[in-house]
Amino acid sequence: MQEEVRGAPKRPARLRDVAARAGVSPGLVSRLLNNDASLTVRPETREAVLDAVRELDYVPNSSAASLRRNRTEAIGLVLDRVTNPVFTEVVHGAQEAAAEFGYGLLMADAEEAEEDETFLAGIIKSRRVDGLLLQGGYGPRAAMLQRYSEAIPSVIVNSTGNGAASGVRLEDDAAARVATAHLLGLGHRNVAFVTGSPGAASDARQRGYEEALTNVGLPLRPDLAIPGGWQAEDGMRAVREWLRSGRGADADAYVVGTSVAALGVLAALAEAGVRVPDDVSVVGIHDPWFAPYVTPTLTTVALPLFELGRRSILQLMTHLESGKPPEAVISDPAPRLIVRESTRQR
């Protein structure tokens, strides 16, 4: 099941649309349109880009030129485990938006930055970046986010902001409500929830799960809340230990805080001889590339990760130009259920 919005107004052409039409990279389009003197490009390539601009009626962002003056042309993007497949679309969205302003991204791993604070501190002190996108949603990392956001213009990605930085977040609670409501609609009544790591995102998803149960008059059972994490090994460890404890004997479905952890949940269930979807159903939040390729294929709730990356850059550009902007919540597009083999009618 994959719902589409029809009749919506056509969005303006973006830099990547021009690049795709001309068969070149967004970075090349940005440099060409900004008259980069160091750019060497074949005449036919230049003409293809200009033709694409005309055909798509592309209008460059009017504030980009002013933002580029006296800037480093680099933005730092700090993510928890940069190799996590969930972040692929976040990075793509941020790259596209950054290129429209003539910026490139410098990526860093949040865990490494926390362990060696001289790394990011050195980047900030040497002015190698104009601003930072800092992944939020992790309670223990709040102090680090506060320090960096006080030192340089920053945006907290997928969490509420702090005194120095605004936040851009997703409707995590709505995503969990959609996942849980799907399972309830299939006839499941003992739905377990595998949490993410402690923090705002996990709390919001658990809140959405609980609201969906309350909406149909089901009690909240603490024994069906399983402390997990964001990685596959977290999901496997949590469910393996939970099943061995005997607490999960009557669970007939699982909502997993992220689809990466759902890989581990599927492995733990298979190890215990629990069949998916014959015995239990499983839904993961986020729709990463691997979801249609695991066995069984994974039912997911997709969130607008590309838009999260893009909006975070736009939020940072506003901060650079006119100061800290208000908080932003991405509600369009809404969380979207994608039904695959891991869920079944009871």
Domain presence at residue 298: yes
Asked whether the beta carbons of 157 and 82 are under 8 A apart, the reply is no
Asked whether the beta carbons of 129 and 99 are under 8 A apart, the reply is no
Domain presence at residue 346: no
Q: Are residues 142 and 181 in the same domain?
A: no
pLDDT tier at 54, thresholds 50, 70, 90 = confident
Domain presence at residue 242: yes
- Look at the chain and report how many structural domains it folds into: 3
Helix (H, G, I), strand (E, B) or coil at 138: coil
In this model, does residue 95 exceed pLDDT 50?
yes
Comparing CA positions, the residue from 96, 17, 101, 27 lying closest to residue 60 is: 101
- pLDDT, one tens digit per residue, over 240-278 is 999 999 887 899 999 999 999 999 999 999 999 999 999
**Domain coverage including residue 53:** 15-68
Q: Are residues 178 and 248 in the same domain?
A: yes
Q: Are residues 137 and 185 in the same domain?
A: no
Q: Are residues 224 and 80 in the same domain?
A: no
Domain presence at residue 275: yes
Q: Are residues 235 and 87 in the same domain?
A: no
CATH number at residue 49: 1.10.260.40
Query: For all residues of the chain together, what is the average pLDDT?
Result: 86
d(CA 153, CA 133): 9
Q: What is the pLDDT of residue 178?
A: 98
Of the residues 50, 68, 86, the one at which a domain ends: 68
Of the residues 52, 68, 84, the one at which a domain ends: 68
Domain presence at residue 338: no
Domain presence at residue 6: no
Domain presence at residue 106: yes
Q: Are residues 182 and 266 in the same domain?
A: yes
CA distances in angstroms from 298 to 20, 87, 129, 256, 341, listed in the order given: 30, 18, 39, 11, 6
* DSSP 8-state symbol, 165: -
d(CA 273, CA 279): 10
Q: Are residues 267 and 190 in the same domain?
A: yes
DSSP 289-303: TTTTTSSSPPEEEE-
In this model, does residue 106 exceed pLDDT 80?
yes
Q: Are residues 158 and 253 in the same domain?
A: no
In this model, does residue 68 exceed pLDDT 60?
no
Asked whether the beta carbons of 327 and 161 are under 8 A apart, the reply is yes
> Using CB atoms within 10 A of its CB, is residue 12 exposed (0-12), middle (13-18) or buried (19+)?
exposed
d(CA 172, CA 257): 9
Q: Are residues 123 and 267 in the same domain?
A: no
Q: Are residues 156 and 257 in the same domain?
A: no
CATH number at residue 320: 3.40.50.2300
In this model, does residue 152 exceed pLDDT 90?
no
Q: Tell me the mean pLDDT in the region 119-130.
A: 74
Q: Are residues 148 and 179 in the same domain?
A: no
d(CA 282, CA 268): 12
Asked whether the beta carbons of 282 and 342 are under 8 A apart, the reply is yes
Q: What is the pLDDT of residue 73?
A: 81
Cβ neighbours around 139 below 10 Å, total: 14
In this model, does residue 5 exceed pLDDT 60?
no
* DSSP 8-state symbol, 334: P
Cβ neighbours around 290 below 10 Å, total: 13
Domain presence at residue 207: yes
pLDDT tier at 8, thresholds 50, 70, 90 = very low
Q: Are residues 145 and 264 in the same domain?
A: no
Q: What is the pLDDT of residue 287?
A: 97
Residues 6+ apart with CB under 8 A from 79: 87, 90, 91, 107, 108, 109, 110, 135, 157
